[in-house]
Chain A
Amino acid sequence: MANVFAFAEQRGGELRKVALEAVTAARTIADATGGGEVHALLVGAPGIAARAAALGAHGADVVHVAEHAAFANANPEAAAALAAAVLKQANARSAVFAASAEGRDLAPRVAAKLGVGLASDVTEISASGDSIQVKHPTHTGKVIATIALTGNPAIVAIRPNVFAPKPNARAGRVETAAPPLDPAASRVVVREMRGGGKAKLDLSEAPVIVSGGRGLKAAENFKLVEDLAAAFGNAAVGATRAVTDDGWRPHSDQIGQTGRVVSPELYVAVGISGAIQHLAGMRTSRTIVAINKDKEAPIFKLADYGIVGDVFEILPPLIEAVRAARAHKG
């Protein structure tokens, strides 16, 4: 019987979707390796313990909670030391983090503390008996590596939006976790958080992404992309590197080889020719729509549904049609 650790990310006192994904993946590993316990770790400002129940509802047997004012924002030094301690105390044979901005900062520190490797940006886990293998896209998604983890614990960081959260009611017994390092004494301190309100759907969580490229001709024309995203209702806005380099959109919106890698249910590419660097960030989207004036654009080789034509002529009726379809659906 092998216990599994899961790190549950929160921001601003709310669980992130990746927290439920991590617990769900941990539950799957635990069930496949003999039915051990899932031990989640939740750190945050005082009051965060109220979020433990949702982790129990997604498969956590035990939720270790550390509340401290210095855990309100990310505090990787103290959190890594605490995660390593909880992992050991829970006798965890494996551990799941999210391959998010926070998780990709935290998980390598924990792995180094415990003297084991880290399989990062994992898109598939197969566990049985004492063995864990994962899939990890490399070379900008053009190659898939299958990796066997032989360390104890076996630590993975899972790609957001791949392991769908599954309700699976367990006890979710809350235990207070004592940080081995004083969270107020960390050398690296987050002084300020900007943005991140709940209103904005993030690229890594959005079921639909509407993305714009140079074909939009000017920054102000991104309004069309935003309007189409708003019409879908569950969409985030992305951009190509050309657009973020020109300052039309922030770098954090960039999808591609050096930006974000996304795999939404629907990806709508507006005025994007499909440079190889961009395709690297969105090629695993389930359905791809492309609208571009050049019928030879590489994006059409990938698009399930392509429309050749002027984005300024096509987007206004498309926005209306999507709105109408959603209203009709109620």
Chain B
Amino acid sequence: MKIAVCIKRVPVMDVKFRIAADGKSIDETGLKFDVNDFDLWAVEAALQLKEKTGEGEVVVFSLGPDAVQEQIRKALSMGVDRGVHLKADRVGGDPLSIARALTAELKATQWDVIFFGKVAIDSADQSVGPMVAELLGLPCVSAISSLEIASGRGTAKRELESASEIVEFPLPVVLTVDEGLNKERLPSLKGIMAAKKKPLESKPAQIDGGTLNIVRMELPPERAAGRIIGEGAAAVPELIRLLQTEAKVL
């Protein structure tokens, strides 16, 4: 089975971001980066699928500047067979441009499954996976939280608002992975050593300008500082009063 996984390098989010001097991007000084959470679950799903079928290859793709090779190495250290770096120093804000650049590379191979994470936690578009499926003419199931694949067909669960759906699909297919499908494995020491010798090919990506332009980035308005209104059950009447008269939500 031939399995592709597309992953993204994203900042670690537990910081207060600063806007760069251009006013429309993030100042990356001092930020730490990792593989996008959902993409780690996509890598894990791919590895489990290969292990279950007992044959095949898992290849990871990442679009971006040279720094993304760090995230590709992480995936290799988890057990992915080889990596492809699609080099682009500026990626821009249009998910369709990204989808086209990935598609240009992915279409050269007949994949059985192409995995994505459901959403990148930085750009928060949740669009590239279904767009790639559309451009490749493949079926797509997005945001899956369970997965069974056997004999060229699959079944997955998708969480909806207060409901879920059980979806059946044929291979080849594009799947995007939600939280809850699995827990990603940690790279072992052996895996980290092996990853250094695994193939990582870097090639230029073709990325167009797209039709979405980020004109500005800003920090959201700060909330007013929090207020503690009291301690224990004795504070309940005051809370009720404030909810009724000040917040007017009760």
Interface residues of A (CB under 8 A from B): 11, 73-74, 76-77, 80, 99-102, 104-105, 107-109, 111-113, 115-121, 133, 136-151, 154, 160, 187-196, 200-205, 207-208, 232, 236, 244, 251-252, 254, 257-259, 265-266, 276-277, 280, 283-284, 286-290, 295, 299-310, 313-314, 317-318, 321-322, 325-326, 329
A289 and B24 CA atoms in complex are apart in Å by 34
Give 7 A-B pairs besides A105-B142, A308-B232 with Cβ atoms closer than 8 angstroms.
A101-B143, A101-B161, A118-B212, A142-B220, A147-B215, A286-B249, A304-B226
* Complex interface: chain B residues within 8 A of A121 (CB): 124-126
B223 touches A302 (CB 8 A): yes
Stretch at the interface among B43-51, B75-83, B133-141: B133-141
Question: Are A194 and B166 in contact, with the CB atoms below 8 A?
Answer: yes
Q: What are the nearest 10 A-B pairs in CB distance?
A: A196-B163, A151-B211, A251-B180, A112-B134, A108-B127, A117-B212, A309-B232, A117-B94, A108-B130, A202-B161
Interface residues in B185-220 by Cβ distance below 8 A to A read 210-220
Cβ of B225 under 8 Å from chain A: yes
Contact B228 A308 (CB under 8 A): yes
Instruction: Report B18-56 residues with CB < 8 Å from chain A CB.
Output: 19, 24, 26, 37-38
Q: With contacts A11-B163, A109-B134, A191-B168 known, is A139 near B213, CB below 8 A?
A: no
A-B contact list, 22 entries, CB within 8 Å: A100-B161, A101-B160, A108-B128, A108-B129, A109-B131, A111-B127, A117-B95, A144-B220, A146-B218, A147-B93, A154-B211, A187-B170, A189-B169, A195-B164, A208-B249, A287-B249, A295-B228, A305-B242, A305-B247, A307-B231, A307-B236, A314-B233
Q: Could you say which of A151, A202, A329 contacts B162, with CB atoms under 8 Å apart?
A: A202
Q: Which residue of A lies closest to B223 (CB)?
A: A302
Contacts of A205 in B (CB 8 A): 161
Distance between A134 CB and nearest chain B CB, rounded to angstroms: 9
Task: Provide the bound-state CA to CA distance between A139 and B133, in Å.
Answer: 25
Other-chain residue from B135, B161, B212, B219 in contact with A147 (beta carbon distance below 8 A): B212
Provide the residues of chain A in CB contact with B125, threshold 8 Å. 118, 120-121
Q: How far is the CB of B232 from chain A (nearest CB, A)?
A: 4
Query: Does B108 interact with chain A (Cβ within 8 Å)?
Result: no
Question: In the complex, A236 Cα to B248 Cα: how many Å?
Answer: 19
Q: How far is the CA of A257 from the CA of B155 in the complex (A)?
A: 27
A148 touches B215 (CB 8 A): yes
Asked whether B13 is an interface residue with its Cβ less than 8 Å from the other chain, the reply is yes
Assess the B127–A120 pair: CB atoms within 8 A.
Answer: yes
A78, chain B: closest CB distance, angstroms: 12
Kindly list chain B residues whose C-beta atoms are within 8 Å of the C-beta of A329: 250
A326 B96 Cβ-Cβ under 8 A: no
Q: Whole-angstrom distance from the CB of B90 to the nearest CB of chain A?
A: 16
Are A138 and B160 touching (Cβ within 8 A)? Answer: no
C-beta contact mask, B227-250 vs A, less than 8 Å → 1, else 0? Answer: 111111101110110111001011
- Cβ-defined contact, B159 with A251, below 8 A: yes
Given known pairs A266-B247, A308-B231, the reply for A108 and B165 (CB within 8 Å) is: no
Report if A139-B13 is in contact (Cβ < 8 Å); known contacts: A112-B96, A116-B211.
Answer: yes
Would you give the shortest CB distance from B143 to chain A, in whole angstroms?
7
B interface residues (Cβ-Cβ under 8 A, vs A)? 11, 13-14, 16-17, 19, 24, 26, 37-38, 93-97, 99, 121-131, 133-135, 139-143, 145, 155, 158-170, 173, 178-180, 210-220, 223-233, 235-237, 239-240, 242-244, 247, 249-250
Most chain B CB inside 10 Å of its own CB: which residue of A74, A77, A111, A290: A111
Question: Which residues of A are found within 8 Å of B143, using beta-carbon distances?
Answer: 101, 104-105
Tell me, in angstroms, the Cα distance from A308 to B220 when the chains sit together: 28
CA distance A119 to B213 in the complex (A): 10
Q: Looking at B128, B133, B220, B236, which has the most chain A CB atoms within 10 Å of its CB?
A: B236
Contact A104 B233 (CB under 8 A): no
- Using A108-B130, A195-B163, A258-B179 as known contacts, say yes or no to A321 and B232 having CB atoms under 8 A apart: no
Question: Of all chain B residues, which has the CB nearest A324?
Answer: B240
Q: How far is the CB of A113 from chain B (nearest CB, A)?
A: 6
Which partner residue on chain B sits nearest A320 by CB separation? B236
Q: Which residues of B contact A325 (CB under 8 A)?
A: 240, 243-244, 250
Task: Give min CB distance, A148 to chain B, whole Å.
Answer: 5
Please tell me if the beta carbons of A139 and B126 are within 8 angstroms of each other in the complex: no
* Cβ 8 A contact of B243, one of A142, A151, A305: A305
Please give the distance in Å from B103's CB to the nearest CB on chain A. 9
A111 to chain B, nearest CB (A): 6
Q: Given A136-B124, A259-B179, A304-B227, answer yes or no on A318-B131 (Cβ-Cβ < 8 Å).
A: no
Q: How far is the CA of A188 from the CA of B210 in the complex (A)?
A: 29
Contact between A144 and B131 (Cβ–Cβ < 8 Å)? Answer: no
Give the CA-CA distance A208 to B145 in the complex, in Å.
Answer: 27
Nearest residue in A to B16 (C-beta to C-beta)? Answer: A142
Complex CA gap A252/B13 in Å reads 22
